[in-house]
Amino acid sequence: DTGVSQDPRHKITKRGQNVTFRCDPISEHNRLYWYRQTLGQGPEFLTYFQNEAQLEKSRLLSDRFSAERPKGSFSTLEIQRTEQGDSAMYLCASSSPGASGANVLTFGAGSRLTVL
């Protein structure tokens, strides 16, 4: 297993266009998370799935954002009608329990979105 994969690594788009990011988690992890990170800030939680069920969504996730995880494997995050404020690094992570019982996230390298 090569870890968490994200595609594309970098997306440049014009305001108003739709973009979709894909995440392939570690195969034995049943939890998958999406975070957004802007310059100088830590990762901000967007949403997460347990298998195919979306269990929680942040208030940050406006109705222009939608995430899916069909069949509980890979996930997609779509942003419709992009705005310049959507420019950020979108991070995907999957998780398994740590030895201590902690929820240890394994992150992908991220997909950087630039909205012109």
Partner 1 sequence: DQQVKQNSPSLSVQEGRISILNCDYTNSMFDYFLWYKKYPAEGPTFLISISSIKDKNEDGRFTVFLNKSAKHLSLHIVPSQPGDSAVYFCAASTGYSSASKIIFGSGTRLSIRP
Q: Which residues of the chain form contacts with partner 1 (CB under 8 A)?
A: 4, 31, 33, 35, 40-45, 48, 50, 55-56, 58, 91, 93, 95-98, 100-110
DSSP 10-57: EEEE-TT--EEEEEE--TT--EEEEEEE-TTSPPEEEEEEETTEEEEE
Q: For partner 1, give the closer residue by CB, 21 or 35.
A: 35
Residue type, 64: R
Least separation, in Å, of the C-beta of 60 and partner 1?
11
Task: Name which of 62 and 96 has its Cβ closer to partner 1.
Answer: 96
Position 45, amino acid: F
Please say which residue, 19 or 61, places its beta carbon nearer to partner 1: 61
| Nearest distance in Å: CB 16, partner 1 | 28
> How far is residue 62's CA from residue 44's CA, in Å, rounded to a whole number?
14
DSSP state of 9: S
Start-to-end C-alpha separation, the chain = 36
18 vs 51, beta carbon nearer partner 1: 51
User: What is the closest distance, in whole angstroms, from the C-beta atom of residue 97 to partner 1 in the complex?
Assistant: 4
CB of 55 to partner 1, least distance (A): 5
